[in-house]
Amino acid sequence: MSTQSLAVTSRTFAFARNSAQGRPQTGQSLPATNDSGGSWTAQTRPATGRPQTAASTRYEGNYIITILEGRGIAREVGMAALDMDTGRVVLVQLADCQTYVKTLHQLHRHQPSMILVPDTFLSAQDRGRAKRTNQSTTSMLVELVREEFQGTPIETIPRKYWNEEAGLEFIQQLCVEDEERAGTILAVSNKYYALSASSALFKHAEVRLNTRFASGSLRIRYVPVEGTMMIDPESAKNLELVQSMAYKKSAHSLFGALNHTYTPMGLRLLRVNVLSPLTVQSSIDARLDVVDGNPLDASKIPDL
């Protein structure tokens, strides 16, 4: 994947290229060459394809997602997703089961264009570098991810760059100054796997994509998985939530009927809420109160 195809739009957020300013000094440097084994793409079964509608084809997303799994019984999984087109970063940490259904659900929500995992998650055969690794089998999480996301490249990053302290430094340095900044930093301060995933994510953007972000230029948010409904991909397909079963490019789906958005971020937010609707009554009531209390006057807002 070329650097040009992942260029960051200057109108959306600022970044500095080839400059040491605007990033924390972690004392680590990732090799510029792909010593971690390169990328590979699964080809074990026919592609399932991400849902598309006439509206959603305007923007498919450009998320680079890092995934880190704990080795304990709890199966804690941390994720960090960066949209290279808008500068939005989403951090997630959750406890999953053996089928990793929650992790796969989060990946479906953000439509990855590339997935990054530690080099220890791949076997020597998958990496093609048997003499440099003792890993005998590929992680079950990686196996499920590559089966679920056919055609999406998976790259490895050395495990030592998945660093909790470096991740927190990156977040404190790059998070935009707004009313949600303090809450975001507080929420992730004890999320080891999410912080480690964010460290690897920004290292990848810095070294492999030759992109360094200016201080306070990224909208970083921690997204709790509690309080939302988890709808598996098969159910979403059968219910035609984001895609018509009769014709993929048709807008005849719940998402297509509701989509009157004008921006890529608005479109993605609607899609996420369709696939993960709220389950907490207080949150639902708060949204309804906003709608009831703010009627739009078409004469004052002609563009809407």
What is the mean predicted confidence (pLDDT) over 58-70?
80
Percent of the chain with pLDDT over 90: 32
Split at pLDDT 50, 70, 90, the class of 10 is: very low
The model's pTM = 0.63
Please report the pLDDT score of residue 249 as a whole number.
72
Cα–Cα separations (whole angstroms), residue 274 to 48, 174, 248, 283, 304: 20, 29, 17, 15, 22
Split at pLDDT 50, 70, 90, the class of 48 is: very low
DSSP conformational letter for 139: -
pLDDT digit string, tens, across residues 175-232: 999 999 999 999 999 999 999 999 999 999 999 999 999 999 999 999 887 666 767 7
Burial of 52 (0-12, 13-18, 19+ CB in 10 A): middle
User: Does CATH number 3.40.50.720 belong to domain 4-222?
Assistant: no
Report residue 127 as tokens. Answer: 């990496």
pLDDT digit string, tens, across residues 75-127: 889 999 999 888 899 999 988 888 888 899 889 888 899 999 999 887 655 55
Highest mean pLDDT among 39-48, 95-104, 163-172: 163-172
Please report the pLDDT score of residue 60 as a whole number.
54
What is the mean predicted confidence (pLDDT) over 241-251?
79
Q: Where in the chain is the domain with CATH 3.30.420.110?
A: 4-222
- Which of 113, 114, 58, 67 has its CA nearest to residue 91? 67
Report the distance separating Cα 209 and Cα 217, nearest Å.
17
Please report the pLDDT score of residue 226 as a whole number.
66
- Which of 269, 303, 278 has its CA nearest to residue 56? 269
- Pair 141, 103: CB distance under 8 Å: yes
